[in-house]
Structure 1
Amino acid sequence: MSDPVSTSPSPSPSSPAFDPAPGRLAFQRGDWPGVRDAFTPAAVEGRADAAAVAMLAWACHRLGDDQAADDFSVQALAMDGADLRVLLVRGDLLTARGAKREANLYYRAVVARGESASGLSPDLVEGVARARAIQMRLVSAMSDHLREELRRSGYVEGRSSARFTHALDIATGRRQPYFQQPQAFFFPELPNTQFFPRDMFPWLDRVEAATDDMTRELEAVLAEDAGFSPYLQTVPNLPSRTDYPLVDSMDWSTCFLWKDGAETPNAARCPQTMAALSDAPLCRVSARSPQVMFSQLKAGAHILPHTGFVNTRLICHVPLIVPQGCNFRVGNEVRSWERGKAWVFDDTIEHEAINTSRQTRVVLIFDIWRPELTEEERVLVGALLETLDAYSPTIRTWE
């Protein structure tokens, strides 16, 4: 049949009013010939609405008339590109033709729209679940096919480029991409790296070697139970996340050795910890940085996804007290802390932490300059941020 989108006439004043009720009742009964008979004249004449044309395309597909289903689904899509039924039909038709990659786009749209929608009819509830299952199969099949072809080109998972594997996972839908989203200051042309290679930071050897000494100092502070305070605190005259359960809560608390660029009395109580950081390129911005702290996350606590303030620094974690069941996500990579094994990450990429154990987790955290910045750039960034702060009546801590 001809393309309804380009050839369907506009309804004339003499055309009978369109009554969708008979076709909808037939659709609810699964009477596909009844749906076709009820909706086809109005669809061809341009009197039917998008929902009716979508049902017609669905019925034609169920009757095996894929040419009509294709024509009417194109017509319905032009009228309402978000109609779940027409998206499902388009995905099914493309799958039948072997256009699996294109079909996956439609199934993905069905899942994205359908899983957040409420009040769906039973057929659409089933359709969304089916789209999710098909999408997962398509992604898996495409991924397997790509990996097999890549193996012939020399790709070995686990040994070949980690960056390429990351790109492959994003291309096949295994992982989604995340990008830097600093809340206060963005420095362009810096790599969008989630976790940085450990061998980029040889000075961390000394930090890790001091794990036992740092843990002893931490335990002494914990025993006194006076050095820690809630990490997120209500600030008078500034917006506060009153709905966030960790605001003013000791479930996520810190003991600062350096805070907002100034040494605290706690630093003197932890000389071995401070000595271990003597070679670290700590980020230095007046009234801002460095930040050096013991971060405590109690059993069951969940730090919700968030991003940091500036992308000119990186954050270092050195795990000191880490029970099993403590996980940390940066972008699309999830890791578990291991005592004494440091990592470095970009906190302007969305990240979160959770402690599913029954014990407290404590990590040493400090910030360093990004290694890509030259000495001149570090000086200028510091001057820029300090000047911006001079115009701010209330300085907000870099969380």
Structure 2
Amino acid sequence: MTPEIENAFAAIRAEFGAESITRVERMLEPGGGGDRHPLQKAAKWIMPGLSTTPWHDPYAYDEIAPVVHALEAAHQAIKEELNVAWAARREAFSDYEHYLTRQENWQALYLFREGGLVAESATTVPTAYQLLRDVAVDTEKICPLLECHFSTLLAGAAIDPHCDLWNFSINLHLAVDIPDGCSITVAGETRSWDEGRCLLFDYSFEHEARNEGTRPRTCLLIDLWHPETTIPERRALVALIAEIRRLMGDD
């Protein structure tokens, strides 16, 4: 570890206790994270001690349930604003740039990125922007290392099987506009989106998606902290990943 990471970790241990970030430190050891599920092997970091369940009940966690209920209650307004933006402000969307690839047939409208809200989206999709700020950003439930965006998969497009970087955040989908013929597979189990409802899954497991319909499929994706992580662990993870990105020249 660099001196910057060591100093950050020491400060967290001093505030929260010597054992407060043990799981984060174990993750950084050779072979850290312990045994992995075969469909997690492509993830870069696996923090030990978190549930090894690919699919999660979005209503089961006290931390996440208020986000789910707020998004689902506002679904119709979110969908209407999204459709207006897609028709009249297409320039607000861009090719989605995953850390592994970039796809022209996978479009994104960002609400939160690079550690902060995307101010331009406040006028483009105001309901989603305000809700995100109120229930996920101001409450620090969003993982600031990642993002929130409308994910629009064009007709006929597919997202190839892949693992995301780690297991200490979790991916929430609000199904905004879902034509027939759309599905998502996580760790070998395929599900469909139910428009107006949320799905929650651990994207350190291999997953893929497809739109075999005749019009675009849009979900609102939010990267939340895994609800089984603690406040000191979250602080340590932000310090760790921010320093790694700095060293790699990503900032």
TM-score for the superposition, normalised by structure 2: 0.75
- 3-state secondary structure, aligned to 1:380: helix
Q: 2:236 and 2:81 mapped to 1: Cα distance?
A: 36
The letter of the residue matching 2:116 is A
Q: 2:153 and 2:103 mapped to 1: Cα distance?
A: 13
1:299–1:360: 8 Å Cα contact kept in structure 2? yes
* Bigger CA radius of gyration: 1
- 3-state secondary structure, aligned to 1:231: strand
Q: Give the structure 2 partner of residue 252 of structure 1.
A: 106
Q: 2:247 and 2:149 mapped to 1: Cα distance?
A: 28
Q: 1:182 and 1:383 mapped to 2: Cα distance?
A: 23
Q: CA deviation at 1:178?
A: 4.8
2:122–2:130: 8 Å Cα contact kept in structure 1? no
Q: 2:130 and 2:72 mapped to 1: Cα distance?
A: 12
1:195–1:330: 8 Å Cα contact kept in structure 2? yes
- 3-state secondary structure, aligned to 1:190: coil
1:180–1:192: 8 Å Cα contact kept in structure 2? no
Q: Write out the 4+ residue segments of structure 1 that deviate beyond 3 Å after TM superposition.
A: 181-184
Q: Does 1:228 align with 2:93?
A: yes
Q: Give the structure 1 partner of residue 229 of structure 2.
A: 373
2:240 to 384, 389, 393: 384
Q: CA deviation at 1:297?
A: 0.5
The letter of the residue matching 2:109 is C
Indicate the percent of aligned positions where both proteins have the same amino acid. Answer: 29
The letter of the residue matching 1:208 is E
TM-score for the superposition, normalised by structure 1: 0.48
Q: Does 1:282 align with 2:137?
A: no
Q: CA deviation at 1:248?
A: 4.5
Q: Give the structure 1 partner of residue 76 of structure 2.
A: 212
The letter of the residue matching 2:65 is P
> Mapping of 1:1-399 within 5 angstroms?
178-181=38-41, 183-200=43-60, 201-203=64-66, 204-223=68-87, 224-232=89-97, 247-249=102-104, 251-269=105-123, 270-277=125-132, 278-280=134-136, 281-284=141-144, 288-289=145-146, 291-394=147-250
Cα displacement string for residues 100-137 of structure 1 (whole angstroms, at most 9, x for unaligned residues): xxxxxxxxxxxxxxxxxxxxxxxxxxxxxxxxxxxxxx
Q: 2:107 and 2:129 mapped to 1: Cα distance?
A: 20
Q: 2:39 and 2:212 mapped to 1: Cα distance?
A: 27
- 3-state secondary structure, aligned to 1:199: coil
Cα displacement string for residues 143-176 of structure 1 (whole angstroms, at most 9, x for unaligned residues): xxxxxxxxxxxxxxxxxxxxxxxxxxxxxxxxxx
Q: CA deviation at 1:264?
A: 1.8
The answer for unaligned runs of 5 or more in structure 2 is 1-36
- 3-state secondary structure, aligned to 2:135: coil
Q: CA deviation at 1:306?
A: 0.5
Per the alignment, do residues 348 and 320 of structure 1 end up closer, same or farther by CA in structure 2, a change over 3 Å counting?
Answer: same
Q: 2:72 and 2:218 mapped to 1: Cα distance?
A: 15
Structure that is richer in helix per residue: 1
2:43–2:205: 8 Å Cα contact kept in structure 1? no
Cα displacement string for residues 275-302 of structure 1 (whole angstroms, at most 9, x for unaligned residues): 3232231112xxx33x110111011111
Cα displacement string for residues 66-125 of structure 1 (whole angstroms, at most 9, x for unaligned residues): xxxxxxxxxxxxxxxxxxxxxxxxxxxxxxxxxxxxxxxxxxxxxxxxxxxxxxxxxxxx
Cα displacement string for residues 231-260 of structure 1 (whole angstroms, at most 9, x for unaligned residues): 138x9xxxx76xxxxx351x1110111112
Structure that is richer in strand per residue: 2
Q: CA deviation at 1:379?
A: 0.9
Q: CA deviation at 1:182?
A: 5.7
The letter of the residue matching 1:306 is H
Q: 2:178 and 2:38 mapped to 1: Cα distance?
A: 27
**Aligned-CA RMSD value:** 2.0
Q: Give the structure 1 partner of residue 17 of structure 2.
A: none
Per the alignment, do residues 282 and 311 of structure 1 end up closer, same or farther by CA in structure 2, a change over 3 Å counting?
Answer: same
The letter of the residue matching 2:86 is L
1:323–1:359: 8 Å Cα contact kept in structure 2? yes
Q: CA deviation at 1:372?
A: 0.6
1:178–1:332: 8 Å Cα contact kept in structure 2? no
Q: Give the structure 2 partner of residue 151 of structure 1.
A: none
Q: 2:250 and 2:243 mapped to 1: Cα distance?
A: 14
Q: 1:197 and 1:178 mapped to 2: Cα distance?
A: 22
- Greater alpha carbon shift after TM alignment, 377-386 vs 267-276: 267-276
Q: CA deviation at 1:371?
A: 0.6
- 3-state secondary structure, aligned to 2:65: coil
Q: Which structure exhibits the higher relative contact order, with contacts defined as CA atoms closer than 8 Å and separated by 6 or more residues? A: 2
